[in-house]
Amino acid sequence: MYPRVRAAYAATWEPLQALLRSHHIEPSRLELFFRAFKIGQRLEVWGRNAGEGPYQLLRTYSIAGTSGTLGPKRAQGDGQVPEGFYELDRFNPRSLYYLSLGLNYPNASDRLLGSAHPGQDIFIHGSDVTIGCVPITDALIQEAYVLAVEAHNAGQQHIQVHIFPFSLTEENLFTRQHSRHYDFWKSLQPGYEYFTRHHTLPEVLVDSVGSYAIR
């Protein structure tokens, strides 16, 4: 129905199908996962056949712009990019930033730990400018958008997006042990480690005080 989506398919779908099949992933069974890092400014796209085995890294996109600093988003207008465990909850084919994929920010943790007005409307989108979102340029959002649509059409109702400040290794956390965000980052670490070790997604819970936990 939408000209930008049709253009994205025309430009990307044929090579994306070849990419998926080179990883032995059937496009009609695609299951997708996104993982972003502020330090290094990268967005990783992982995929697999639905419910089968570990995810494989399909693409690594450079994040084309950023705002704020390390640490989670806690208030509307703070300019921060969120950190934590999210899902895509909407597709915007007529975005001000070409195409965009909406995150379910604020999640349960953000609502418990953030201000009374934590903000909203956080997207992975085109362009190279942002206030709190994840821009990857118009050309690259075409790929990401088409992959997300195909995963949704294949039956994936919950496409997870994990956003981290940096790779949450013990060494990296140790160098930032005096940060006011240290305890929050430690609550993210088990989820980061689980995927890094297994290349499958953990079940992430939020406890009564807003900390993340893995079951």
> Is 23 among the residues known to form the active site?
no
Q: What is the DSSP-derived secondary structure letter of residue 68?
A: S
Residues 27, 182: Cα–Cα separation, whole Å:
40
Question: In sequence order, what are the residues at sequence separation of 6 or more whose Cβ sits closer than 8 angstroms to the Cβ of residue 184?
Answer: 71, 72, 83, 113, 211
How many degrees, rounded to 5, is the angle at CA 88 between CA 75 and CA 48?
Answer: 140
> Is 125 among the residues known to form the active site?
yes
Which of 24, 117, 133, 152 is catalytic? The answer is 133
Query: Which structure tokens are listed for 76?
Result: 């509307």
Which of 23, 24, 117, 125 is catalytic? The answer is 125
3-state secondary structure 79-147: CCCCCEEEEEEEEEEEECCEEEEEECCCCHHHHHHCCCCCCCCCEEECCCCCCCCEECCHHHHHHHHHH
Question: In sequence order, what are the residues at sequence separation of 6 or more whose Cβ sits closer than 8 angstroms to the Cβ of residue 5?
Answer: 93, 99, 145, 146, 149
Q: Which residues are catalytic?
A: 125, 133
